[in-house]
A and B are shown apart, each in its own frame.
Chain A
């Protein structure tokens, strides 16, 4: 588990580096201590979001009707590419007090970067 911050930073660096090309960036959400981090993530349409469970208990990512992951055991990941603008609220169906949201902005006009 000591490698976790390094990995997160690496993902973040990757996400920043990938923001410029036409291809949408990848983004990451960490699940730790029964919390989605960041709880709200703003992305451009077409971005692939990957959740990684760092808890010792399984969690899911559910945003009806589109997103429904299998239970992620420790260190398992789930990815979903958001193509439609809008706000997608999601939660863990095992621990419903865990909530988060993905705010997807239109990809057009996103080349300000």
Chain B
């Protein structure tokens, strides 16, 4: 495993020097837009990376207590435990929404108490479950929306990568999919205008921006419009949650990826009567929940996403 110390101070330098993952997952490397699975990573296989790494967690659903997982707090704690155990500290974390199950203050409090133990900056976007308080998202905006535009969208730069957090869970229309809306699209177009096409772009939002399965609402109605503004960029990575399972697709220079939930799994598209929480034997649950790390290796123009279940 090398000579990682256990210093938890924020040290990007260590992340730059070495990215090691101890766990089990599928490592994807993407070179020139073509993904190649390097197979299962088992135990202490190290991935050297001259880049920087950040983490994605999603769909904590704090407050969920149904049979599919009566202890969503416990599995979020396990996920954060995995984060803390990383030998190389990631630069920061993104959370792609559904922090809470019913937008209750107590649920946000509990989530914050657990997630803060990772001792990382966290960049959030809301899921539909985070905006169902009486004031339709006031609690979320107060806690997570500082400095954001509109319903909570924003962008920032880190290590030369441009990160864009989008909100596609507001003003959903009957019979429709996720929705960004005209105001947000105009902001996005302006946000990326004038940027060098060589700058890597990471877009993150709750509902998949591409159409995964419209019968279950798994897609974003105006997602293609958003992606049209990003066509000219050489490296675009789209990170989503919402569907509680790993899915990946590559289209040109765009890599789409969804993360596991830390709370409960959902069925693969069309394999069940509905997308509701999937009850699995208790010993299987933690193999279907997890987190994702994303590593940029900037000079090599490679990007690696590693999905890691909580167990197995």
A contacts, CB < 8 Å to B: 33-35, 55-58, 60, 62, 70-71, 73-74, 89-91, 93-97, 99
Contact = CB atoms under 8 A, between A and B. Distances in A.
Nearest to A93: B172
B216 to A, nearest CB: 6
6 contacts: A34-B276, A55-B276, A56-B276, A57-B276, A58-B101, A96-B217
B64 to A, nearest CB: 8
B232 interface: no
Contacts of A70: 132, 134
Contact of B176 (A57, A74, A96): A96
Interface residues of B, number: 25
A38 to B, nearest CB: 17
Contact of A89 (B66, B128, B174, B177): B174
Contacts of B274: 33-35, 55
Interface of A is mostly: loop
Interface of B is mostly: loop
Given A89-B174, A97-B214, A58 B129 contact: yes
Interface in B176-216: 176-177, 214-216
Nearest to A90: B174
Contact of A33 (B128, B176, B276): B276
B276 A96 contact: no
B271 interface: no
B37 to A, nearest CB: 32
B132 A99 contact: no
A71 B276 contact: no
B102 interface: yes
A23 B276 CA distance: 38
Nearest to B174: A91
B275 interface: yes
Interface string B48-86: 000000000000000000111000000000000000000
Contacts of A94: 128-129, 132, 172
B173 interface: yes
Which of B67, B174, B176, B214 gathers the greatest number of chain A CB atoms within 10 Å?
A: B174
Q: 5 smallest A-B Cβ distances: which pairs?
A: A91-B174, A97-B217, A34-B274, A33-B274, A56-B66
A99 B254 CA distance: 33
Given A33-B273, A33-B274, A34-B275, A56 B68 contact: yes
B188 to A, nearest CB: 22
A96 B132 contact: no
Interface in B257-309: 273-277
A93 B173 CA distance: 8
Nearest to A68: B136
B175 interface: yes
Nearest to B216: A97
A94 B217 CA distance: 10
B132 A97 contact: no
